[in-house]
């Protein structure tokens, strides 16, 4: 990426200024690349945080179990209660599959 000086429109050269990579012009104008990249990173981080916050709200809702607990034998630990829900498989004309998650060992199994 070639940057031009906003003052005199000469090409900026990469140069170390105070140990930081900068773009400098012979007219004395210079900009700090690192600072700019950090600003970009900050922007990205802010967007990520905003996204994450939204996702946290969404996933918090997700994590609240809305599945009813039904009497169901767990094939793994023989617990007799499991969360139950149904999921539609690939095509709409196939019957939906019942899923169960053991309330004790969290083993998930299904019934056709």
Instruction: Name the nearest CA neighbour of 87 among 95, 79, 76, 75.
Output: 95
Residue in 77, 80, 86, 89 binding Zn ion, rule: CB under 5 A: 77
Give the strand pairing for 20-24 and 30-32.
Answer: antiparallel
Please identify which residue in 11, 27, 44, 69 interacts with Zn ion, judged by CB under 5 A.
27
Q: DSSP code of 90?
A: S
Structure tokens of 62?
A: 């997700």
> Considering only 30-38, 47-55, 92-100, 104-112, which stretch makes contact with Zn ion by CB under 5 A?
104-112
Residue 70: CB minimum distance to Zn ion, A: 14
Burial of 82 from C-beta contacts in 10 A (0-12 / 13-18 / 19+):
buried
User: By C-beta, is 35 or 106 nearer to Zn ion?
Assistant: 106
Task: Please check whether residue 109 is in contact with residue 73, taking contact to mean a CB–CB distance below 8 angstroms.
Answer: no
Query: Does residue 103 bind Zn ion (CB under 5 A)?
Result: no
State yes or no: residue 12 binds Zn ion (CB under 5 A).
no
- Residues designated catalytic: 93-94
Interaction site with Zn ion (CB under 5 A)? 5, 7-8, 10, 25, 27, 29, 74, 76-77, 79, 102, 104-105, 107
């Amino acid at each position: 990426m070639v940057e031009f000086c906003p003052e005199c429109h000469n090409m900026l050269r990469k140069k170390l200024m105070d140990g930081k990579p900068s773009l400098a012009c012979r007219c004395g104008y210079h900009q700090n690349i690192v600072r700019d990249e950090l600003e970009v990173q900050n922007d990205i981080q802010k967007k990520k945080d905003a996204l994450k916050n939204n996702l946290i709200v969404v996933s918090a809702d997700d994590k609240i179990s809305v599945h009813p607990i039904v009497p169901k034998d767990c094939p793994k630990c023989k617990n007799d209660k499991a969360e139950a829900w149904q999921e539609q498989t690939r095509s709409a004309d196939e019957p939906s599959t019942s899923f169960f998650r053991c309330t004790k060992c969290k083993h998930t199994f299904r019934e056709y």
